[in-house]
Structure 1
């Protein structure tokens, strides 16, 4: 039961002491969680997988390397159940188990400090994730452990990164030289498609050659001036952003690389119609629109997108998500596939948020067992969790239009719907 304000101490020093004690309790619990993660991995070693089945049956369970060289492999399917019981995704559970094994087997000095209560688990996990991601050899990881352990309680993230780089240079000089060569060219264009603001904007960053950057700046400035002359009342920065979109759409008119190169040389590009597909869910009593990828936008923003110059609006037939569709064969029709994708929105496995459009459509009752290819018997599952359901011991059933109840191999149940997951 949560502590209420009336139960808290009433002096400043007492409140600080109370907060410190709760922080200590959290640190102890997180250290114990790392022990549990290691124990779970020990109970599900790679040797527990039926090698013959893994070899003969495509998509069946395999050995999963979750930490660096020298740490034990684990049976792949055990990860999902450990994550589900903690209320985290399978990917997050893989990171947690991997960090625990990395600490116990490759960073033993840090592990001992955590288990003695001398180092918060979150700091050790941060180091472990860095050494795993860097792919350090056993010797390099041991070097990091030896150098860092005495000071890990007060070492910054950047200092850990520098130490890892030093370990690579010391124990793998050829790799360090190649990394330095690649880093010398820092040019990039990065579009953060996973972060869309409520206003319908997306962050773009770039590092360009000087000449390219100056040309780009001049083109953006000119485009902003053109938009102003055409009557735009937006701010200069907003017009510059719009000019980038107009420039991009002019390139969409190029039918091929060869013809595009010729047009660019003659400066004869022409603007193409904006072609962006948005599946928008609207409600009569709600002024907010929900886009398929889970982002929100105002109705005014949707209207602005549709009425912008050069935008081609195509209205597609509305799909009734509650209509029962059936197909004769194994493969769903395009209409049935689209209906399931729009209905489920994401993979329906507990805590998974992968977009349904990037998922397989699973027959809940297998096709081979008489399961129909229909609205009621199809669900979106990402490839990882599709394999888990097909070759593991997880089972689920559809309990509503877009609701499902899952049962884990150890009998834990979870209810999922488009809003998320809750323990059953």
Structure 2
């Protein structure tokens, strides 16, 4: 007999789940308090080392030796190396002294450690005198979303605030592109390519598509190869006087039928095949110029402000809420786009409100891609082009196919919405309100557009010409 505590939706199950969630929440608060205490102590260690110069009127070398000594002492307690402690002391001082409002928000529970690290790492790309201005904008944004979601937006925010143009800084960074190898264990190594973000994303997307194509067609290809192997074997037996020499299709069918590789493994193998041989080993039409795998092309989802397209703005563009890309690359991608649609944003709410697409269903999908950018389950950032458009209120239950009832969900969270007790409703402005089995609610706002439009002041009306006297 099934225990009541194991029955999803039962009272005992929900009570047990509530206890687990409350325990995790309590533990998270205690961990955050301990992390902040440690952060302040590490910052104090850095100030103590710096004080040695003031007391002794010493050179920088004295400060460095004092910092090394303190780091070694603290490292003995933390059981990490002195180099690691010294690096963490530097980060702690920067966060505590350079971003005090961020530490305060973390202490109050408005944000978590991941938010603080994201603000630190993106904000320090700006001159120190701009850090306070940056965190005043960044903290409210962090309060509404998870660290992995907000990081890309903070990066773009920092790029737009920077006194030097993003295009100029990207050009300098691109000069450092390279490929390097890092030896690993057990005969394995990491091959690392440092490339412009859009190129790296495109490579990963094409490898993923090809890997999925190989995995999804295993049975079909094995059966086709098996039939071809039997036929070719019979022909060889007849032409070679019973020697039975076939063309190897049966062996390949066996290889395909026993292929149990994961997506990561297939992706790595296809990557190696493409670089070493120019084609995936299991592409059935690899001898032709455009086989099924070879015909797959990379896809990236980029939000490009109109001002960037016209050259009026050289700020960064948004790669599906993940990170920034340079405007020159965005313009190059845009020049090859076969379909264009203008998107209009409400100047007050910054929410996309309409598109000039003629074909409504197709235009609605593209409209939603621009609005959602990624999966709309809290914390998920799978790009919208890899998601499914879901009816918030099920179509089978009367939900209409309209913008206010549609949102992107990845396969994982679409299935969870269908087969678990998680529920969602859509509010005005594309806001989703998710309710967990315990009744907890999680608000999921539509992503902020990569560029905000400010309506220009209305032009004064032209002067009215004096009325001419009526003729007699």
Shared fold by TM > 0.5? no
Q: Point out the structure with the larger strand share.
A: 1
Q: Max radius of gyration: which structure?
A: 2
Q: TM class, shorter-chain normalised?
A: 0.3 to 0.5
* TM-score normalised by length of structure 2: 0.34
